[in-house]
């Protein structure tokens, strides 16, 4: 019996208070240790310089953080996207957390958990790659299915070749029984799957059971199995299935696997349950997706979420389309200069670049009510705080984050170029990385122009509620 899904509770976030505006400005102007190391300029000073002395980008948040009353520093907290969808909206939810290379599961340093892989797993990754050289007599399809079955095992019992339980693909399901509009009993199911990143040569090599090519296939396999259960049950009971939200988060190679696995799963739905394609909603968060040296080609190099269906090496990738909620976050200056050019993601709803290293803050934490939590991001315009996959509740746009994770929305491609040039002026140049970030941002602005030209009236109606939603509000109420 699966454990019961916990109830989603609306929560507020209390911003740190400052005695005066000057104290706050002095703190904001300081560069972080990483920014000093890389000679990167502070985002706060960059925005002030480029937008002029009368700029009001930080005006609202400055008032919040210098307020003497704690209640006025409370703002809405957006968190636990999967639990919110399942409990509050009655949706089925399948979550994937895709770890970066060299990690057994998504980094959770705030929990004081060491997720790094060890020497034994590295040797196993080499061994499986070596064995594959002598199994060419089998078809590619046979080899792929054998690999999937070997890694995933039956159901949630994940075993390796020796029949021992593996901890590199973990799954946990929670349920909630509800009564639908017809008075029938239904079970809402929320399942989360944690998947390891590539472990070849301590994560430097895209090889072994958890390479990009394998993990994206596991997403399709496990996602297809989940969806089949949901749709077949609905068909059996002669009722329309509920929406299913596929909520995915991936870092580094895990970010590449996440987007490609989602596109493969989208194709699987199209082939097997085309009548329910509209019932599957994708939500994707990529944290500095990097395929790595030797793997940065084809779809690993560039992907268009609003483009055409493509087939590469016999695998079909179907674009997620404009209905998907997608966010790609890029490190503005990775701590590696060779082999770390990120995947260019075109068509994402939100493009965010940050003055941090490739780890994207996964090694950091913040203390909330005396407990360690994942880092969060604050919309500088509204004060709303977003944590983890709930970043997809942020308004669409191109943003830059400062060292305190305040998100500043950029208004044009011209401004994007000026901001990047100003911040990275004195850094070790990573032209290929900067070009990818610029191209991803450009695709967002280009897509907005296309939408405005095609359906100006419809687009204005679409933006109206979003503008209302983003009005500044204090007091912690979730909108």
Whether 144 has a pLDDT exceeding 80, the answer reads no
| Model confidence pLDDT, tens digit, residues 237-267 | 999 999 999 999 999 999 999 999 999 999 9
At 385 the pLDDT is: 97
Mean pLDDT of the chain: 84
Counted residue by residue, the chain has a size of 479
What is the arithmetic mean of pLDDT over 407-433? 92
Query: Quick one: residue 105, left, alpha or beta (phi over 0 = left, psi -120 to 50 = alpha)?
Result: beta
Contact present, 147 and 125 (Cβ < 8 Å)? no
| Model confidence pLDDT, tens digit, residues 42-73 | 898 899 999 998 899 999 998 998 998 988 89
Please tell me the least confidently modeled range out of 21-30, 197-206, 230-239, 465-474: 465-474
Tell me, yes or no, whether 177 lies in a domain.
Answer: yes
Parallel, antiparallel or unpaired: strands 385-387 and 397-401: unpaired
Return the ∠ at Cα 421 (arms to 418 and 427), rounded to 5°.
160
| Model confidence pLDDT, tens digit, residues 284-338 | 999 999 998 888 899 999 999 999 999 999 999 999 999 999 999 999 876 676 7
SS3 state of residue 442: helix
Tell me, yes or no, whether 476 lies in a domain.
Answer: no
At 291 the pLDDT is: 94
Whether 384 has a pLDDT exceeding 70, the answer reads yes
Contact present, 202 and 117 (Cβ < 8 Å)? yes
pLDDT band at 363 (very low <50, low <70, confident <90, very high): confident
Tell me, yes or no, whether 171 lies in a domain.
Answer: yes
pLDDT band at 275 (very low <50, low <70, confident <90, very high): very high
What is the arithmetic mean of pLDDT over 416-440? 91
Rounded Cα distance, 402 and 423, in Å: 11
pLDDT band at 24 (very low <50, low <70, confident <90, very high): confident
- Give the total number of structural domains in the chain: 1
Neighbours of 258 (CB within 10 A): 28
| Model confidence pLDDT, tens digit, residues 324-361 | 999 999 998 766 767 789 999 999 999 999 988 888 98
Sign of the CA dihedral with 116 first, then 432, 448, and 310 last: negative
Whether 467 has a pLDDT exceeding 80, the answer reads no
Whether 278 has a pLDDT exceeding 80, the answer reads yes
Token reading at 58:
């930080």
Whether 459 has a pLDDT exceeding 70, the answer reads no
Which residue in the block uniquely carries the two structure tokens 């599961």? Answer: 105
Please tell me the least confidently modeled range out of 95-109, 128-142, 188-202, 424-438: 128-142
Neighbours of 456 (CB within 10 A): 10
Tell me, yes or no, whether 36 lies in a domain.
Answer: no
240 closest CA partner among 199, 315, 180: 180
Whether 458 has a pLDDT exceeding 60, the answer reads no
**CA quadruple 290, 293, 294, 297: dihedral, nearest 10:** 40
Whether 203 has a pLDDT exceeding 80, the answer reads no
Rounded Cα distance, 120 and 99, in Å: 18
Tell me, yes or no, whether 45 lies in a domain.
Answer: no
Contact present, 67 and 15 (Cβ < 8 Å)? no
Please tell me the least confidently modeled range out of 109-113, 129-133, 147-151, 424-428: 147-151
Percent of the residues in the chain that have a pLDDT greater than 90, as a whole number: 53
Tell me, yes or no, whether 380 lies in a domain.
Answer: yes
Tell me, yes or no, whether 2 lies in a domain.
Answer: no
Which domain range does residue 269 map to?
Answer: 76-469
Residues contacting 11, CB < 8 A, separation 6+: 77, 79, 476, 478
């Amino acid at each position: 019996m699966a454990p019961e899904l916990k109830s989603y509770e609306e929560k507020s976030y209390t911003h740190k208070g400052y005695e005066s505006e000057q104290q706050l400005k002095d703190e904001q102007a300081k560069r972080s240790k990483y920014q000093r190391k890389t000679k990167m300029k502070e985002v706060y000073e960059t925005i002030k310089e480029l937008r002029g002395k009368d700029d009001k980008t930080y005006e609202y948040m400055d008032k919040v953080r210098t307020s003497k009353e704690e209640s006025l520093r409370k703002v809405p907290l957006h968190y636990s996207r999967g639990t919110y969808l399942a409990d509050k909206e009655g949706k089925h939810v399948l979550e994937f957390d895709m770890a970066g290379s060299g990690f057994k599961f998504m980094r959770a340093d705030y929990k004081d958990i060491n997720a790094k892989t060890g020497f034994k797993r590295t040797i196993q990754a080499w061994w499986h790659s070596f064995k594959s050289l002598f199994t060419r007599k089998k078809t590619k399809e046979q080899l792929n299915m054998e690999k999937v079955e070997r890694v995933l095992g039956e159901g949630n019992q994940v075993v390796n070749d020796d029949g021992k339980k593996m901890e590199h693909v973990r799954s946990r399901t929670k349920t909630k029984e509800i009564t639908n509009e017809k008075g029938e009993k239904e079970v809402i199911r929320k399942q989360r799957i944690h998947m390891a990143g590539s472990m070849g040569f301590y994560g430097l090599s895209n090889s072994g059971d958890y390479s990009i090519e394998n993990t994206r296939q596991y997403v399709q396999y496990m996602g297809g199995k989940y969806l089949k259960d949901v749709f077949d049950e609905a068909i059996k009971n002669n009722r329309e299935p509920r929406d299913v939200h596929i909520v995915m988060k991936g870092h580094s190679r895990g970010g590449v696997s996440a987007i490609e696995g989602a596109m493969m799963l989208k194709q699987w739905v199209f082939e097997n349950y085309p009548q329910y394609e509209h019932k599957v909603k994708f939500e994707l968060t990529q944290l500095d997706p990097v395929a790595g040296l030797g793997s940065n080609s084809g779809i690993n190099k560039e992907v268009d979420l609003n483009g055409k269906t493509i087939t590469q090496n016999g695998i079909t990738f179907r674009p997620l389309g404009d209905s998907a909620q997608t966010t790609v976050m890029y490190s503005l200056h990775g701590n590696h200069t060779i082999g770390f050019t990120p995947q260019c993601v075109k068509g994402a709803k939100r493009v965010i670049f940050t003055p941090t290293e490739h780890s994207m803050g996964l090694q950091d934490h913040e203390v909330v009510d005396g407990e360690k939590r994942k880092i969060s991001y604050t919309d500088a315009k509204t004060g709303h705080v977003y944590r983890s996959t709930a970043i997809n509740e942020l308004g669409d746009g191109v943003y830059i984050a400062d060292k305190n994770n305040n998100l500043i929305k950029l208004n044009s491609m011209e401004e994007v170029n000026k901001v990047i040039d100003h911040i990275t002026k004195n850094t070790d140049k990573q032209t290929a990385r900067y070009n990818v970030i610029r191209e991803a941002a450009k695709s967002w602005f280009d897509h907005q122009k296309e939408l405005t030209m095609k359906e100006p009236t419809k687009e204005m109606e679409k933006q109206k509620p979003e503008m209302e939603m983003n009005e500044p509000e204090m007091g912690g109420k979730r909108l």
